[in-house]
Amino acid sequence: MKLLTSLCRPLWPCVVLALLAFAPAASAKALKVGFAQTGAESGWRTANTDSMKSEAVARGIDLKFADAQGKPENQIRAVRSFIAQGVDAIIIAPIVTTGWEPVLREAKQAKIPVIVMDRAVQVSDESLYACFIGSDFAEEGRMAADWLAKYTGGKGRILELQGTTGSDPANERRRAFAEGIAKYPDLKVIDSQSGDFQRQQGKEVMEALLKKHGRDFDIVYSHNDDMALGAIQAIEAAGLKPGKDVIIVSIDAIKEGVTAVADGKINCVVECNPLFGPKAYDAVAKIVAGQPVPRKQYNKDGLFDATNAAAALPTRQY
């Protein structure tokens, strides 16, 4: 027995090293990220939230999620809660562009980086947030205007359904679209009202516009698909055929919107890709690690009309 013990003793260090080699490595501390979402006002927003949540799960991120229910004060309160919880980073999808400076200063003082996602903010000091990840709303408005001008030959009376008043997408989609059609004197916006990016409000606004203008219009330009889909209900109830009697151009390209294009009820949708999860968390990881990130990042957007909508449907993720 003594001989066996003496023979095995030199092997113990090797056995220990071998066991350590197969033992699981100590896991790094999970990132804790606060995300202040605008709400759940549209199919686009739901897809955006799903992307952020599913990507967080895939990466093992401890996500603190807050739904502001369309109220800016709820978003500000959520960001202050994230600061109090000591999160590693904060992501906001701002409901409106203004009013952010005080709470962003609080985050900076707490040394918590903030990523602005989807919609821009207006601040006097851009160092208050680390970067912006979103869509080029101005380019979307220009794409809609260019397609419409070509399709109509530069002629038509337009009713515009605006998004949330004071929001970055509503501001930019309206401005860029107006600039895009300005070179066509016979292509004019004759009325413009907010439907707050919501389907029911899009329907109600369209009903009011139909009462006001009767049949004295040719085109509906909607800042998002949900309002356009609501407007279609009102147009059909008025005995008109959307896509034929009324040309409809929209932005977002949610699956229902692209389906409506394939069905001939919407003539064109400009894409606004909501799947920001991978880009957002890539940026968080780099910023927390002290690595540089681009100041602005945009998702690539496309356009769907009668030429490509049906073929695109099987692969749509949202």
What count of other Cβ atoms lies within 10 Å of the Cβ of residue 171? 22
| 175 and 264 fall within a common domain | yes
Same domain for 116 and 185?
no
- Distance from C-alpha of 121 to C-alpha of 116, rounded to nearest angstrom: 8
Q: What pLDDT, on a 0 to 100 scale, did the predictor assign at position 214?
A: 96
Mean pLDDT, all residues of the chain: 91
Residue 146 forms part of a structural domain: yes
Q: Is the dihedral of CA 309, 311, 313, 316 positive or negative?
A: negative
Residues 258 and 193 in one domain: yes
Averaged pLDDT, 259-270: 98
188 in Cβ contact with 117 (< 8 Å): no
Looking at residue 3, what is its pLDDT?
38
Distance, C-alpha 59 to centroid of its chain? 20
Residue 116's SS3 state is strand
**208 in the same domain as 180:** yes
Domain of residue 206, CATH code: 3.40.50.2300
65 close to 110: Cβ distance less than 8 angstroms: no
pTM: 0.82
Model confidence at 28, pLDDT cuts 50, 70, 90, reads low
Contact 316, 309 (CB under 8 A): no
Q: What is the pLDDT of residue 41?
A: 86
101: phi then psi, degrees, rounded to nearest 5: -60, -45
Q: Could you tell me if 202 and 224 lie in one domain?
A: yes
- Of the chain, the percentage scoring pLDDT greater than 90 comes to 86
Same-domain status, 154 and 119: no
Question: Does 15 reside within a domain?
Answer: no
Domain match, 95 and 119 both = yes
Q: Are residues 78 and 123 in the same domain?
A: yes
196 shares a domain with 122: no
Residue 96 gets the label, from left (phi > 0), alpha (psi -120 to 50) or beta, of beta
Residue 109 lies in a domain: yes
163 pLDDT more than 70: yes
Residue 246 is given by DSSP the state: B
More confident position, 92 or 23: 92
In a domain, 110, yes or no: yes
Mean pLDDT of 247-259: 97
State the residue range of the domain holding 267: 137-272
CA torsion, points 31, 32, 38, 40, in degrees to nearest 10? 80
Mode of pairing for the β-strands spanning 303-305 and 268-271: antiparallel
What pLDDT digit, counting tens, does each position of 198-236 carry?
A: 999 999 999 999 999 999 999 999 999 999 999 999 999
Copy the structure tokens of residue 54.
């599913």
Same domain, 113 and 170: no
Pick the range with the lowest mean pLDDT from 27-31, 124-128, 159-163, 299-303.
27-31
Out of 12-26, 32-46, 67-81, 207-221, which region has the weakest mean confidence (pLDDT)?
12-26
The conformation of residue 124, written as its DSSP 8-state character, comes to: S
Residue 284 DSSP code: H
User: How many domains does the chain divide into?
Assistant: 2
Alpha helices in the chain (DSSP H): 2-8, 12-22, 43-59, 72-85, 101-109, 137-152, 168-181, 199-213, 225-237, 255-262, 277-288, 309-312
Evaluate the CA torsion angle 223, 306, 206, 246 in order and state its sign: positive
Q: Is residue 17 part of a domain?
A: no
Side chain identity at 214, as an amino acid letter? G
C-alpha neighbours within 13 Å on the C-beta side of residue 27: 6
74, 141: one domain:
no
Q: Which residue has the tokens 């709820």?
A: 74
Q: Report pLDDT for 174.
A: 98
Cβ atoms within 10 Å of 265's Cβ, excluding its own? 20
Structure-block tokens of residue 185: 């004197």
pLDDT of the residue at 266: 98
